[in-house]
Every structure is written in structure tokens, then in C-alpha cells.
Structure 1
Amino acid sequence: MSLQERDKKHIWHPLTQHKTSKASLGIVKASGSILWDEKGNQYIDGIASWYTAMYGHCNPYITSKVTAQMLSLDQVVFSGFTHEPAVELSEKLIEILPNNQQKLFFSDNGSTSVEIAIKMAMQYHFNKGEKRTTLLAFEDGFHGDTFGAMSVSGLSVYNGPFEGLLLNVYRIPAPNGTNNKEVIELASKLISEHAIAGFIYEPLVQGAAAMKMNNAEGLNKLLQLCNENNIITIADEVMTGFGKTGTNFASEHMATQPDIICLSKALTAGLLPMAITTCTQDIYDAFYSDELAKGLFHGHTYTANPLACRAAIAGIELLQTDTMQTNIKRIIASHQSFASTIKEHPKVKNVRQLGVIFAFDVDIEMERYGDSRNQLFDFFMKQGVFLRPLGNTIYILPPFVITEDELQKIYTVIEASLALF
């Protein structure tokens, strides 16, 4: 019996309406930028498996480091204990983070990193004797699936059934360079009328909103406005972190740095689940007290798992190599070349790129998970390319180790797909 058939018996997949979806494809092997299914078919992983495996699947440097770690320490409670991989990771991460970041809080995934950030922002004010219960966020943002993360997300396709149960959030448009003044005016009005504790945003690229890109200058002005009003700023870098925007973190494109940063996905190079919420010394100091209740009482069983920490250390080491930085520059240059060609196509609009993130819209209306979108997905897979269109948006976010031939095949298949419409 195939993996597909066995899977259907018991497994409930994410982001899937099983009554109308096809059976899930059985993947049995991965290496570099390539996935293999149980029939031996190969697929170029054009989105690094949801932006995680940025140094390639089963990277031997990372797997060797984690294998060695398994032989000395696999797991230990992180409340009251510490260990070398967590301490070393904290040191290496602080070295490459924006220089205002000083403290790390470990958790399990992107959603929980956001959940912790929201708690930090709200309790920061509470601990200082000020009641602020409202949050500010971008329209069309996506920050995860737990309740706090859903609250600050603006995509109702994901959280519609829970709207009446969420935190109090006001949404503003993301600045795009043409609406910066209006965005600042709206944010100023909301700040004057409400006790806003924190502002959460995806810096420069809203991934789930179909790689919608915002304006660095406008975002920087928003961050300055928040600073002036003692509003905690939270950069959700779960998708954008670790080299994808051409810098280590998307926040580096702005002069004003966030108070809190959320990290996951590429943090552990796609090998093991883990997340980190980082913050400034000022945030941490608001919880540092003789009063027990002022502590941040949040924890996960696998917090700072030694194996995941070791994978993250290896990933940071690879990111800083000349080879990986050269690869990133090569991908950026290839994307720019492809953009100059594809933007002239009559069925293409809104070509956009930041770092290794490339996207454009097919000039046809499509539902996010409708028939036309599924037709695109199926076409790509039949050609041996794994891309995951978001409605009529086709995007590429490849592993840094993708070869030029593999990248050129993705471009060729994308161009061919436009003949479907």
C-alpha cells in the first residue's frame, strides 16, 4: 500500500479541505534543492519547504553536528537547567541580530514566538502599572494560528470562525511608498484614541498575503511613531529572517530597530522545530523583579532542545560563509534578470523582488485555493517543480544552495505556465 493510501486513513493535514483536495504526495527523500516521491519522481523545491531548508535538505554539515549532539545530550528541562548548545546559540545569534537585541526566549514554532512577543508587549506595560490592552497590526498580515497570533493576523480565510474570541486589534494598511502619509495619519489617530500596547508587523514582506511588499521608509516612520508613544514594536521575522532579504534580517533595511523579534523556520535550517523571541534589555528589565508575578510565565516542554539548538548554530555558521553569501548574491542577480524578462509578458503584473524572494501576479482573478490556482500547482509539479501559488501570485523563495540550472528550470516552467491562461 502506498504512502498516499496509508496517509488517508488517519492523517488530517494543515491548510487542507480534505473533501475537495487530492491525496497528499508521499515524499521519501530530500537532498539539496531536490525532493523525491515514492515513485522516484524528482521535484525542485522552489520554496525551501515553506522557507525553512535554506541551506538545502539534509545538509551534511548540519546533520553531522546534530548527530554528534545526539550522542552527548538529547533533551533536558530548560527551567532551572541550561546547556552548551543553548548558550552557544545565544552568543552566535546576538552577534548577527540588530544590536539592540539582548535577550532570547525559546519556544517551539513561529506562532508561539509571536504569542510570547504579544505577552511581552502587554505585560511590559502591566508590570509598569499601566493598562494597555490594544494592539496595532497591518491589514492582510499573518502571524500564526494560536489565538494571540490569530488576533493580530488579518487573513480571515484562516481565522474567520474565531473572530469574536480574539484580542482587541486595530489594523492599518501597510505603507507602500504611495500611501505613507495616510498610514502615519491613521496610526497617529488610533494611538491618540486607544491605549495601544504593541505594534506587530512583517518587515518589508507579508508572506501569506502573497508576498505583498511594503516600503522601508514608511515602515521606519511607523516605528519611530511607536517609539515616541512607548508602543512596543514587534518584528515578525519568522519568514524573512536569516538572509532571505539580502541582509541577515529584514529589520536591517530600516534605521529604527524593533523592540522584539520573532524567529523560527530557517532558524533551525528546516531540520527540527524551534523558535526564539528576542528582545531589548529594556523589555527584559520590566520583568526582572522581586515580585514573582512579574515574571514571564510561559514555557514549552521542548524549550531550547539541544538538538534544535545545535542545528541552529550550524545554520548560522553556514549563513556566514563566503560560499553561502555568494550564492545569495547569485540568486538575487538571477531573479533580477528574470524579472526584466517576465515583466514584459502581457499576462504578468506587479513583478516584485527583495533578496531571494521573487513574486508576480498572473493577470487573472483566482481564488486563493480555487481551480485555477490548483491548475497552476499541478502544472508545476508535472514539470518537476514544487511551487505553491497563493491565488494568482506565483513566487519563488529557493534554498540558498539551489544550482543555476535548477533556478533556470524554475523560470522556464513558470514562463510556460502562463500559456494556461
Structure 2
Amino acid sequence: MHTTTKSLTERDQNHLWHPLTQHKLHPEMLGIVKAKGALLYDESGKEYIDGIASWYTTMYGHCNEYILSMVGRQMQQLDQVVFSGFTHLPAIELSEALINILPDNQQKLFFSDNGSTSVEVAVKMALQYHFNKGHKKNVLLAFEEGFHGDTFGAMSVSGLSVYNGPFEDFFLEVKRIPVPEGKNIEKILQELENLLGEDNTAAFVYEPLVQGAAAMKMHDAHGLDQILALLKKYGVLLIADEVMTGFGKTGTYFASDQIETKPDIICLSKALTAGLVPMGLTTCTQEVYDAFLDDDIAKGFFHGHTYSANPLACTVALAGIELLRSEKIQRNITNIMKWHGVFAEEIKEHPKVKNVRRLGVIFALDLTVDMQRYGNLRDKLFNHFMNEGVFLRPLGNTIYVLPPYVITREQMEKVYASIRSAIALF
């Protein structure tokens, strides 16, 4: 092995291109060498509380011993096999376990590699569903400020221009509506009635209850249910992007559990495999699946990924579901929700804070800060938190927390204390 005295931060700059990074402004990356539970450790030995579960993935903690033991055994049995023409026990057991916790109408699972591809699969499923039935429906519907991933179909239904700018001329046709916020629901429903009269809308892609990349923007469950019910009446397929919200983060297994009208298709990733390996899943109803069954081979769903249903990833996901359903993790989720509630009551009256919101283990607040005065506000906040030993990734003037379920009360209090001190900076 080649040895060098250079740090990881120095060596990184030679060849690596990081996601969501303007390297001219942020040339240096912090080298992380170890992680355990809710903690990250850099190469100097400093520890950081992972307050966002590494982009909402490591919900059961880093290097979870139960998950590692399960995947370690599987590695000795079957590592990888093509999922076209073959099947295997980890995929079958995962399907059975997942169907038991998904909304009751879900019946079939299609594997891919990540959150973006799970949405890409869902969009293609929806468009071909109508095509196979002899209907030309080429318009997609989505919320304003939604985010669904970085592949072209997923970008098309996303509404954050900072991600999409150079590519918008190549997108699918998408129409957008505001998220329901109580008073605006009648206007949204009327707008939809007019739109749906054209009978060309194939599907509605939505993040249920929380729009993550839009700075944890939360919306009204009752209003969303009214929107979904109207769309279902017109035969529009409902695609719930639960990549961020899935697996307990909103207080229920899935955000869709809190809404009466259930999706036809659900997109899953992130916490699906507990932060250990990549995998995406797109689940659907029997009705959606049946639209692809035909003597004509061309009506099949011709989409595939080399690592679809990788046995190791399936084993990790199955272990994660077992942990999610355990009494200990459910108790921890309840505790985090209570801690967030106490902190929200304390901080909501602060003169520099507005719009404190929370759902499940997700907590967010906005700072009443002059953004022009602090043009690099996000960087100031990020650096403050890291200096305090807390890993949070503010979104503009929004500070949010989405901790692993294994975080301790002491660790959570340190996160809250770092937010208090961050507010005091302005």
C-alpha cells in the first residue's frame, strides 16, 4: 500500500469531485476516518455528532453491530447475482417484510440503485402504464419547490432551479401546484379541476408532508389528502417520493400512513439500507403491475440495473426493518419527538427565530436574519456547528435536525445547545 504523510484533506484535492460543491469556493474536504452510533471522527481525532444521520440514511447508527453481523453472514453465502432470470432469499424475505409495513395497497417491488433512480423508475412506470392501456398521457404534475433527484425524469418533476438550470430545455412536460397550507386548498383544487379537464395528466409526484431540499418545508396532511383524492378520481397515478420521509422519520413508518388516500407508487431509498450500501426501491399496486402483463413483450417494463436486488443490500434492508419495528427503536423515536417538542417550545419565542416546525424526528426553524447582510450565512452556520462538534447542514437561513434513532439525550442536548449559540451569533 502506498504511504504518504499528506492528510486525507490534502490528498482529496488531487482527483476527487464532490457532489453539490463549488470547489472554487470550497476546495477542502474534511477527512472522516471512523463512525460509530451517532458520532463521526475526523483524522485528528475530533468527534462530531451526526445531527442529520448522514443525509437521513444511518437512522440506526453508524456501523450498527446487528446490521454488520447480518450482512457479514450473507457475504459468505451469496454476494451478487443477476436479478433477471434469477431470484434469491434476501430479496424474497425483504419483499415480505416490507409489504407488511407499507400502506396496504402496495403489492410489488422493483429494485434500482438510489433515490433518484427510484423516482426515475416511478415516472417511467406511470407513463408506460397509460401507454399500455392505449391512452396518451404525457403531462406530469408536481409541487412547487419539490426535489426528487438528479436523473432527468427526477429533475423534470423537481422544482428547485439551482439544481436544474442548465438542463430545463430537455425535461419532460411538468405542471406545478403549490403545497397545501390550509387557506389555499380551495384555490388549488379549482386549479386542478381546470387542469384535469384536459385529460393528459399521467401522474402526480410529491413528497408527502415534508419537502426536504426546500428547507424542510412542511404542509397540511388534510389538504394533501384532498388533492390526492381529486387526482385519483381523474385516474391520475399518485407517486409518493418517500426517499427522505420513509422508515419512521415522520413518526409513522411512512408519511403516507398519515394520509387517507394512498399512493399507487412509492419511491424508497436512503434509510432503506441504513446508510451501509446503496439501493433504491419503487413499489406499486397490483393494478399498476397488471398493466404490464401481456403477450406482447414490448409491454413489459424494460428497465434494469446491474446491481438490482443485490443480496447484501437486501440483507441490510431486512435488518433495518427488524430494527425499525423493535421496541427499542420505537421508544427512541418517541423520545426524540418529545425532546424536539420541549426545545421547540423553548426556542419558538426567540426574536431571531420564526416558523419553528417539527414532524416525527424532523425539527426545523428559520432565522430572521438579513440574508443580504450575511450572504454566506449557510457557511457561517455550518462552520459554527462543526467547531462545536455538531454536524448539521443548514439550508440558507434554515437550521434543521434529523438525528439517528440511536442518538442519546446528552448528544441531543449538545445539538440544541449548538443551535442556541448559533442564533446568538446574529
Q: Structure 2-normalised TM-score?
A: 0.98
Asked if 1:114 is matched to 2:113, the reply is no
1:137 is aligned to: 142
Tell me which amino acid in the other structure corresponds to 1:18: H
Tell me which amino acid in the other structure corresponds to 1:275: G
Q: What's the CA shift for 1:365?
A: 4.0
Asked if 1:148 is matched to 2:153, the reply is yes
| Aligned-partner SS, 2:105 | coil
2:87 is aligned to: 82
Asked if 1:389 is matched to 2:408, the reply is no
Aligned partners of 1:241 and 1:266 also within 8 Å: yes
Cα deviation per residue 1:202-232 (whole Å; 9 max; x = unaligned)? 0000000000001101100111011100000
Distance 1:273 1:189 in 2: 41
| Aligned-partner SS, 1:193 | coil
2:3 is aligned to: none
2:266 is aligned to: 261
- Select the residue among 233, 238, 242 that pairs with 1:237: 242
Q: What's the CA shift for 1:185?
A: 1.4
Tell me which amino acid in the other structure corresponds to 2:149: G
- What is the 5 A alignment of 1:129-208? 129-193=134-198, 195-208=200-213
Cα deviation per residue 1:248-268 (whole Å; 9 max; x = unaligned)? 000001011000000000000
2:130 is aligned to: 125
2:55 is aligned to: 50
Q: Return closer, same or farther for 1:303/1:77 CA change in 2, 3 Å cut-off.
A: same
Distance 1:233 1:172 in 2: 14
Q: What's the CA shift for 1:370?
A: 4.7
Distance 1:269 1:195 in 2: 38
In the alignment, structure 2 segments of 5+ residues that lack a partner are 1-5
- What is the 5 A alignment of 1:5-404? 5-193=10-198, 195-366=200-371, 370-404=375-409
Tell me which amino acid in the other structure corresponds to 2:202: A
Aligned partners of 2:242 and 2:268 also within 8 Å: yes
Which deviates more from structure 2 when the two are superposed, residues 17-26 or residues 264-273? 17-26
Aligned partners of 1:366 and 1:373 also within 8 Å: no
Tell me which amino acid in the other structure corresponds to 2:257: E
Distance 1:181 1:109 in 2: 36
Aligned partners of 1:4 and 1:24 also within 8 Å: yes
Q: Return closer, same or farther for 1:94/1:124 CA change in 2, 3 Å cut-off.
A: same
Tell me which amino acid in the other structure corresponds to 2:218: M
In the alignment, structure 1 segments of 5+ residues that lack a partner are none
Aligned partners of 2:273 and 2:317 also within 8 Å: yes
Distance 1:387 1:370 in 2: 18
Tell me which amino acid in the other structure corresponds to 2:399: I
Aligned partners of 1:33 and 1:57 also within 8 Å: yes
Tell me which amino acid in the other structure corresponds to 1:354: L
State how many pairs are aligned.
Answer: 420
Aligned partners of 1:365 and 1:392 also within 8 Å: no
Distance 2:378 2:216 in 1: 16
Cα deviation per residue 1:166-195 (whole Å; 9 max; x = unaligned)? 000000001011211111111222212350
| Aligned-partner SS, 1:78 | coil
Distance 1:16 1:331 in 2: 31
| Aligned-partner SS, 1:102 | strand
Q: Return closer, same or farther for 1:125/1:378 CA change in 2, 3 Å cut-off.
A: same
Q: What's the CA shift for 1:274?
A: 0.2
Aligned partners of 1:135 and 1:168 also within 8 Å: yes
Distance 1:399 1:329 in 2: 13
Tell me which amino acid in the other structure corresponds to 1:179: N
| Aligned-partner SS, 1:420 | coil
Tell me which amino acid in the other structure corresponds to 2:109: L
Q: Structure 1-normalised TM-score?
A: 0.99
Q: What's the CA shift for 1:296?
A: 0.5
1:2 is aligned to: 7
Distance 2:73 2:84 in 1: 24
Tell me which amino acid in the other structure corresponds to 2:215: A
Aligned partners of 1:107 and 1:300 also within 8 Å: yes
Identity %: 66
